[in-house]
Chain A
Amino acid sequence: SAVISQKPSRDICQRGTSLTIQCQVDSQVTMMFWYRQQPGQSLTLIATANQGSEATYESGFVIDKFPISRPNLTFSTLTVSNMSPEDSSIYLCSVVTSGNTIYFGEGSWLTVV
């Protein structure tokens, strides 16, 4: 199993600003992912955070808007840049273990006003 800590758990942000979300895992993992969950919706994969190289983004998501860092095997950050109300969502960090199970952090609730 894996225990994932995300910070902040909740924030209210001003339009046009940027916020960085941190994800810390209690063990070294190869695969880390960032998801977005808009209100009342399912999860959408934003990107795969690759250690030592640039993140791999899914269709509809770009690095300028969602820059990601992965400095080591236990930590990653996702920045939501130049926020607008449409970015109000829960952002979730996840890891996949050797048993193929996905573990999630508690999520970061962002409200953009």
Chain B
Amino acid sequence: SQQGEEDPQALSIQEGENATMNCSYKTSINNLQWYRQNSGRGLVHLILIRSNEREKHSGRLRVTLDTSKKSSSLLITASGAADTASYFCATATASGTYKYIFGTGTRLKVLA
């Protein structure tokens, strides 16, 4: 079953705008990761945030984690056409099995 639910399911923005997508999960986690997938290709790792971290940055990406609300958000600033993709969150349970469960995904379209 899906661990994570993401919203929105789809998002269209203009080039240069910021995009925010959210991920909610159900059980305690060890860490949460965000991935990008371009048009049915393999997934590219974006960022990992551990359960004891609240915010993390990587270039134009900002990820927050609120373990009390069991939610995370991914912010992409100054978006460009190359950011058009599907974005997934993945969570590993605190039991440390290294089995990652993926969210439902957000399809982002950046319009020129």
Q: Using a CB–CB distance below 8 Å, which chain A residues touch chain B? A: 4, 6, 31, 33, 35, 37, 42-45, 48, 90, 92, 96, 99-107, 109
Contact = CB atoms under 8 A, between A and B. Distances in A.
B40 A42 contact: no
B22 to A, nearest CB: 15
SS of B interface (majority): strand
Given A33-B99, A42-B88, A100 B45 contact: no
Interface stretch (B11-19, B52-60, B68-76, B100-108): B100-108
Which of A37, A42, A48, A107 has the most C-beta atoms of chain B within 10 angstroms of its own C-beta? A42
Interface residues of B, number: 23
A48 B92 CA distance: 14
A43 B102 CA distance: 6
Nearest to B50: A100
B2 interface: yes
Given A92-B42, A92-B43, A109-B40, A100 B103 contact: no
28 contacts: A4-B42, A31-B98, A33-B99, A42-B2, A42-B104, A42-B105, A43-B88, A43-B102, A48-B99, A90-B40, A92-B42, A96-B98, A96-B100, A99-B48, A100-B30, A100-B48, A100-B98, A101-B33, A101-B45, A102-B33, A102-B35, A102-B43, A102-B100, A103-B45, A104-B42, A104-B44, A106-B42, A107-B40
